[in-house]
Every structure is written in C-alpha cells, then in structure tokens.
Amino acid sequence: NPDSETVLILGGGVAGIIAAKTLHEAGIDNFILIEARDELGGRMKSYRFGGKTVELGANWIHGAKPVSGPANPIYTLAIKHDVKMQYNDFYGSLSTFDINGTADFVDVCRKAFADHAKLTIAGGERLSRSLVDLSARTGYALMGSKPQTHYEQAAEYFHFDMEYAQSPEQSSWIAQAMNANFTYDFIGGKPLKDTLLSIDERGFKTVVQAEAAEFLQPSHVMFNSTVTDISYSDSGVSATLDGGRVIRGAYALCTFSLGVLQHDDVRFHPELPVYKQEAIQSMVMATYTKIFFKFDRKFWFDTEMGLYADPERGRYSAWQSLDHPNFFPGSGIIFVTVTGIFAERVESLPDSQVREEAFSVLKQMFPNIDVPQPLDMFFYRWHSDPLYRGSYSNWPPSFFLSHYHNLRANLGRLYFAGEATSLKFVGFLHGAYDEGLNIAGEIIKCIQEEDECAPMKRVPDITNGDGKSYGRFNMQYSLY
Ligand SMILES: Cc1cc2nc3c(=O)[nH]c(=O)nc-3n(C[C@H](O)[C@H](O)[C@H](O)COP(=O)(O)OP(=O)(O)OC[C@H]3O[C@@H](n4cnc5c(N)ncnc54)[C@H](O)[C@@H]3O)c2cc1C
C-alpha cells in the first residue's frame, strides 16, 4: 500500500492527468492515479469504425487560439504532440433539408447565429451588472428571438443545443454567456468560431496520453481499478476498490464525472454534507450522442454539415460528413448528433430501431436518391455507462454561484475537480484541464505550506438574495 503521504488521484481523464502533471512539476511524485478502464483519456474516447478512427466523445478544440487571450491548453498540447487537426466550418459550410428533401433555409441559420451572439452579449452584460440569472429561453425571447417554424427551431437547435446538449429552457443564460465569452473571440460583436476537429488516426486522446507518457511511471497508475467507496476525514482519505482492496492516501482528488456523483456509483463515508449533495444534484449531466454510419459510397451533401428540419425539434437534425476532402475523403462515413432527452431516448432503444429511424430521415433528406443500406452503424451509450452517466455538464437556471462553490469545495482532505467544477469553461476539455491544474494547486499549497491548508470557499445555506426574500411564512405543511 502507498505510504500515508500519498495523493490519490481518482480518475484518469483530462483533469486527473493534468493534476498528476501539476503535482509532478511541484516535486510531488508520491501520487497514485486510479482508473477503472485500461487506458487514460476518460471522455476522450476513440473507436475504429469503417476503417477510420472516429471520436465517440470529445472531438473539437473549441476556441483554439483566441486573439484576445492565451491559447486553449488542449490546442497547445495537440501542437506539442503533433495531433492532426482540421478547421471545421460548422456554421459556414452547411446544407439544409426538410422532410421533402433540400430546403434552403441558410438565411434562417444566419439569423440564428446572430441571435445566439446577441444572447451571449446580453448575458455577459447581465453578469457584469450582477443581475439575476434567467433561462436562455427567456434571454432569447427578450432579444426578440422566438422560433416558430420548424426551420427556425432547427436553426436555433443547431446553434444552441449542439453546444450545451440541452435546450435553451433548460440552460442558464449567464452560464451560457460566460462559457462563450471565455472560450471564443468576439470580433465586431460576432463570435469567431475557432473550432478544430481532431482527425488523428491515433485518436484525439493522444493529446493527454502522450503528455502523460512524459512523466507518469507505471508505479503511478492503477488501471482496471474501479472505486466503489471513498472514506474521508481531516487526516486522510481511502478508496475501496471493487473486490475490496483499500488504497490509503493523505489526500485525494476525485475527478469522477458529475453523473457518477449524481448516481451514487461511488459511496462516500461519511455521507456527503447536504450542501454538497444539493450542489451535485442541482447541476445537470447532459447527454450528447453521435451516431456513426458507414456506407459503401457517399451520396449526400458536399458541405461539411447538413441540417435537417424535422417537425420534432432536434430529431436527427445535425449531420456531419466525414467523407469530405478536409476530413476522411472516400470513407463513406457520416454521423448524426442527438442531444438532451432525445439522446437519452435513443440510448434506451435497440440499435436496430435507431438505425431504422435515422435511415428513414436520410431517405427524406434525399428523396431522389436510392439511398443504400448502411454497411455499419455505431453509437456509444454515455448516459447508461456507470463511469460517466452522461456526456458533460450543463448549468441550469436554478444553479447559483454558491452551488458552484459547493460543488467544487474540498471536504477535509478530499478534493474535487473536472469539467463540472469549472466556472469559465464548464463542459469543455479545457475546463477539465483548468480545474486539474487549479485544484492540484490547492493540494500543493496544503502539502507544502501548512498554514495554507484553509478550506475552499463553500456556502452551507444558499438563501434567497436581494429582492427574493419572501419574508417568514408559517407553512401549512411542515416536516417538523
Ligand atoms: C460525446 C461527447 C462529446 C464531447 N465533445 C467535446 C468537444 O468536442 N470538445 C470539448 O472541449 N469537450 C467535449 N466533451 C467534453 C469533454 O470530453 C469533457 O469535458 C472532459 O473529457 C472531461 O474530463 P474529466 O477529466 O473532467 O472527466 P472524465 O474524462 O470523465 O475522467 C474521469 C475518469 O474517471 C474514471 N472513472 C469514473 N468512475 C470511476 C470509478 N468508480 N473508479 C475508477 N475510475 C472511474 C473514468 O473512466 C474517467 O477516465 C465531450 C464529451 C462527450 C461525452
């Protein structure tokens, strides 16, 4: 067993790897990284499909090289490790369809792009004036954007849900504005979508696997080790593995996804305090699912993206061609992305039904073509996987800044990090990176400077603030 000074890093995704690197660079090498799977990378998960490497999880570097600030650290690592990337003209290279085939509503999409920019700018202004949060739906309506037609709804879906994996009514306006402001450059009031797609045959995960190979020793990592229980106190932390083995450390950093924490896949001893549980259950673990198809030939659009307006908002709407000169020409691969509740529905269906439903959409998009049967189809069930329970976090309007502090706060020597604990970049790879770095920094302070071991900010009771104090009422129904 490791000695009592060991730092346990629970989870080998971006946050865990960057935390390990940060400890190493501070001269702390007695850490042990515990990972359930047999490789590092977490939600950077590649898969051989149709003769190519496709990405089931993260695929894009969003806001790679903002003019206004430092480069996205994932971009910096991708350059360092020579990961092959390609600019993805998500909004500019677009063909549009409806149930009767080609339908030109590119102008509607341009307006949706502008409306999304207005939402972001106005949300940023609310934030700087400390105005109360509202839903992005309310924000859109106040900006005059009220999608009615299937085209308007599909266009809004493409610009909003495809980023946050949930609808505007389910999403915080302020968090959306923060996310977009800190990730993308705004030039002339328009966000510059500086988005790169990894097309590396080694998989996008190379970004962190190659980085880890530079400093991780085999003795630092335990693969195929699923944590079932975490016991914590002011004097140490221990993790119990599936099978009963107990690993003890002086500190631990839990980087398991928000979904894992929400579903009690790991039990905590003592039970997590009520304020922590409230924070965990108040953030949302959204689902974003890519359904890959392989055909014997390409029969679809020549643009990078295809947007289909179904009468049901978000039903197999967003298609992306990988059989494109910029990506995998000649591959016969196309994928459709579904999000939110619809993605959870798709996960619950047998593969054959999903294949049939999506295939019938393709037939509607191309009524004049004898659409061939796909040779293969694949999608990953993120929502049901007990190692993730969803794809990434989305901040709902009922999540307050104090919840964020509580989600992130340490409990004695147990610390938390991951994309979900990032204020500026929630949901993103670079959010996970930033938090691996920040929280490792907290642990380092604690180890190296005894008096710096102060608890991180938390708010035990989140109360109604200005203008929202209802006064005291005697409730007719009472627990006590
Ligand atoms: C479909 C999809 C698309 C995405 N697209 C993008 C994108 O294009 N760009 C972008 O920036 N971000 C994207 N993301 C988000 C990005 O992948 C995440 O923000 C990031 O990878 C999270 O890293 P993490 O270290 O916080 O968590 P994780 O990667 O989840 O790491 C946690 C680790 O803990 C392990 N683990 C879990 N439970 C246990 C247990 N009980 N015992 C032991 N180990 C356990 C897991 O296996 C995992 O390796 C996407 C995510 C998904 C799923």
Mean pLDDT of 360-388: 98
Q: How far is the CA of 55 from the centre of ligand 1 (A)?
A: 12
Q: Name which of 170-174, 275-279, 446-450 the model is least confident about.
A: 446-450
Mutate which of 10, 33, 37, 43 for ligand 1 pocket (most atoms within 8 A of beta carbon): 43
Q: Which numbered atom of ligand 1 lies nearest the CA of 227? A: 42
Span from the CA of 429 to the centroid of ligand 1 (angstroms): 8
Query: DSSP strand E in 184-250: where?
Result: 185-187, 190-192, 195-198, 221-222, 227-232, 237-241, 246-249
Instruction: Using the atom order of ligand 1, give the atom closest to the CA of residue 417.
Output: 26
Atom of ligand 1 nearest to the CA of 74: 11
Q: Which atom of ligand 1 is nearest to the CA of 431?
A: 19
Give me the mean pLDDT over the 360-366 stretch: 98
What separation in Å is there between the alpha carbon of 44 and the centre of ligand 1?
A: 6
Task: Please give the share of the chain, as a percent, with pLDDT higher than 90.
Answer: 88
Q: Is 227 annotated as a binding residue?
A: yes
Q: Would you state the pLDDT for residue 1? A: 41
Give the residue, by CA position, lying nearest to ligand 1 atom 1.
57
Ligand 1: residue whose CA is nearest its atom 12: 428
CA distance 48 to 167: 31
Distance from Cα 339 to the centre of ligand 1, integer Å: 16
Residue 391 CA: nearest ligand 1 atom is 53
Mutate which of 88, 246, 256 for ligand 1 pocket (most atoms within 8 A of beta carbon): 256
Looking at residue 464, what is its pLDDT?
81
What is the best residue among 163, 221, 429 to mutate for testing ligand 1's pocket, by most ligand atoms within 8 Å of CB? Answer: 429
User: Which residue's CA is the closest to the ligand 1 atom numbered 29?
Assistant: 42
Instruction: Tell me the average pLDDT of the chain.
Output: 94
The answer to whether 261 touches 387, Cβ cutoff 8 Å, is no
Q: Which atom of ligand 1 is nearest to the CA of 418?
A: 26
Q: What is the topology classification, in CATH, of domain 7-42+205-281+394-452?
A: FAD/NAD(P)-binding domain (3.50.50)
Distance CA(429)–CA(310), nearest Å, equals 31
For ligand 1, the distance from its centroid to the CA atom of residue 414, given in whole angstroms, is 20
Q: What is the pLDDT of residue 106?
A: 96
Q: In what order do the strands lie in the sheet with 7-10?
A: 221-222, 31-34, 7-10, 251-254, 414-416
Task: Determine contact, residues 433/73, Cβ cutoff 8 Å.
Answer: yes
Where does ligand 1 bind, in terms of residues with CB under 6 Å?
Answer: 11-16, 34-37, 42-44, 57-60, 62, 226-227, 255-257, 260, 265-266, 288, 382, 387-388, 391-392, 418-419, 427-429, 431-432
The reported pLDDT for the residue numbered 466 is: 58
26 known member of a binding site: no
Mean pLDDT: which of 38-47, 182-191, 465-474 is highest? 38-47
Task: Confirm if 227 and 36 have CB atoms less than 8 A apart.
Answer: yes
Beta-carbon count within 10 A of 204 CB: 29
Residue nearest to atom 4 of ligand 1 (CA): 58
Asked if residue 286 lies in contact with residue 160, where contact means CB atoms within 8 angstroms, the answer is no
Ligand 1 centre to CA of 391 (Å) is 7
Give every CB contact of residue 97 below 8 A, 6+ residues apart in sequence: 103, 306, 307, 308, 309, 364, 365
Query: Which pLDDT value is given to residue 110?
Result: 95
- Distance (Å) from CA 390 to ligand 1 centroid: 9
Largest CA distance in the chain: 73
Residue boundaries of the structural domains of the chain: 7-42+205-281+394-452
Question: Distance between CA 151 and CA 155 in Å, rounded?
Answer: 6
Nearest ligand 1 atom to alpha carbon 390: 53
SS3 361: helix
Residue 469 CA, ligand 1 centroid: distance in Å: 38
Residue 72 has pLDDT above 90, yes or no: yes
pLDDT score at 68: 75
Give the per-residue pLDDT at 2. Answer: 42
- pLDDT tens digits, one per residue of 199-251: 999 999 999 999 999 999 999 999 999 999 999 998 899 999 999 999 999 99
- pLDDT for res 449: 84
Which atom of ligand 1 is found nearest the CA of 430? 11
Residues 47-59 have pLDDT tens digits of 999 999 999 999 9
Query: Ligand 1 centroid to 333 CA: how many Å?
Result: 24
Q: According to the annotation, is 136 in a ligand binding site?
A: no
Reported as a pLDDT band with limits 50, 70 and 90, residue 438 is: very high
pLDDT above 70 coverage of the chain, percent:
95
